[in-house]
Amino acid sequence: MNKNILLSLSLLIASYFVVTFVGFIHMIILNRCFSVPSAKQAGVPMSKSPAYHASIPYHPVYNLLIFPCFALIYLIQVNPVNLWHEMLVTGITWAVVSIIIDYIGWVAIPHAWRLTYKEFYIDYQPWITFIYIIIFSSPFIAGIILHYIL
């Protein structure tokens, strides 16, 4: 995996941004099409936005649809000799890096969408746990698709 780490991390970052973008689009759709108030309309901080909270149960679904696609691209590109080993290393790497990115990007760095530690790791349960399990499992889902379907 060492020679493929740049490709792996690039696809992880790409999938992370796609999932985040889909989440933002979902909140806009909830607001514009279904009249779920935005943070500004509700007069609350971004982390308390009714549109954000309405989208939360769908966050694992975005991850389940998007991360395995990028993992499949990765596995096709590297064509590993030991597929199970590559899936395990990629799953662990992606989960650990995602946890670090989440902490830095959503908790540590101040911005309008920043969440407190409690909001992200306690109040966002069980969704954040499901998301990390999905991210870890994505290379296995992709590997099964690659091995048995493609």
72-95 tens-digit pLDDT: 999 999 999 999 999 999 999 999
Give the count of domains, the chain: 1
Non-local (6+) Cβ contacts of 88 within 8 A are 139
Torsion from C-alpha of 42, 101, 9, 63, nearest 10 degrees: -40
Q: What share of the chain is helix, strand, coil (3-state, %, to 5)?
A: 80, 0, 20
Q: Report the distance separating Cα 105 and Cα 120, nearest Å.
A: 11
24-63 tens-digit pLDDT: 999 999 999 999 999 999 999 888 999 999 999 999 999 9
CA atoms within 13 A on the CB side of 1: 18
Non-local (6+) Cβ contacts of 133 within 8 A are none
The yes-or-no verdict on residue 1 having pLDDT over 60 is no
Residue 2 pLDDT grade (very low, low, confident, very high; cuts 50, 70, 90): low
**Range of the structural domain that residue 32 is part of:** 2-149
Q: Report the distance separating Cα 81 and Cα 49, nearest Å.
A: 47
